[in-house]
Amino acid sequence: MLKGSEPKNSTESKTILSFADRITVSVIKFFYRIWSPTIRYNLVGKIFYDEPVIYVFWHNKLFGLIRLMRGRGINVLVSKHRDGEKIARITEMYGYKFIRGSTSKGGVSALKKIVATLDKGGQIGITPDGPRGPRWKFQEGALFASRVSQKPLIFVGVGYSQKIVLNTWDRFEIPLPFSNCVVYSSPPYYVKKGDTPEKLEKLLKEYTLKAEALADGKI
């Protein structure tokens, strides 16, 4: 387990879900418990760290990472929108902690929570194109968090050998049962002077495309 702990206010201001949303969350949790253990993982690069790091990965790749990274107390940034709250309630059973907010809307508060968590030895997970897109567009939050905290980014690419692609803003991917999930992770990357979201976007895309090519057997 990580030595860090979540900020005291990380569980505040939970979004209230409707009855229909709560039912949806319960159904998804049930199926995820059955579905996710069938996925076979192939890890390329170091993925598990004990020191403070910021994992960045695209929003549509969440399915494969939830189970893989479970039980490590990682603090995940989730929006205060109902979609973010549903993700939090689905994944909380796997030992994740949550920082509620956005690095784009009301970003100062969320950024402070992220930096405080890293300073205490915790780890952070961010989908830099979340919570609402555009798809695979690297927003500034993770860059700022790394620069201010002086903690490295870990670019995490994910690819599936067989998958279902949903008709959502991010084209969310669900690996088929017994398919292979390739996780291609970078060495720790310390943000340098002059780095831009566009540069980090390119790096994350490179690791993602490599993971997808490996999963497809193209390389």
Beta strand pairing status for 40-44 and 124-126? unpaired
Measuring CA to CA, which residue among 36, 52, 6 is closest to residue 151? 52
pLDDT of residue 13: 53
* 198: pLDDT strictly greater than 80: yes
Query: What average pLDDT does the segment 24-47 reach?
Result: 95
pLDDT of residue 142: 95
Task: Output phi, psi for 189, to 5 deg.
Answer: -115, 115
* 34: pLDDT strictly greater than 50: yes
pLDDT of residue 105: 54
Burial 3-32 (b: 16+ CB within 10 A, else e): ebebbeebeeeebeeeeebeeebeeeeeeb
Angle at 100 between CA 122 and CA 120, to 5 degrees: 20
Kindly report the average pLDDT of the chain as a whole number: 90
Q: What is the pTM of this model?
A: 0.89
**CATH class belonging to 39-215:** alpha beta
Angle at 62 between CA 57 and CA 67, to 5 degrees: 115
Query: What average pLDDT does the segment 143-152 reach?
Result: 97
Query: What average pLDDT does the segment 47-62 reach?
Result: 97
Share above pLDDT 90 across residues of the chain, in percent, rounded to a whole number: 74
165-190 pLDDT, tens digit each: 999 999 999 999 999 999 999 999 99
Structure tokens at 126: 């961010």
pLDDT of residue 58: 98
Share above pLDDT 70 across residues of the chain, in percent, rounded to a whole number: 91
* Domain spans of the chain, in order of start: 39-215
Structure tokens at 172: 């969310």
77-109 pLDDT, tens digit each: 988 777 778 888 988 899 999 998 876 655 688
Least confident of 60-69, 94-103, 134-143: 94-103
Q: With bands split at pLDDT 50, 70 and 90, how would you rate the model's confidence at 10? A: very low
Q: For residue 172, what are the CA distances in angstroms to 116, 130, 138? A: 31, 12, 17
* 66: pLDDT strictly greater than 50: yes
| Cα separation, 126 vs 86, whole angstroms | 16
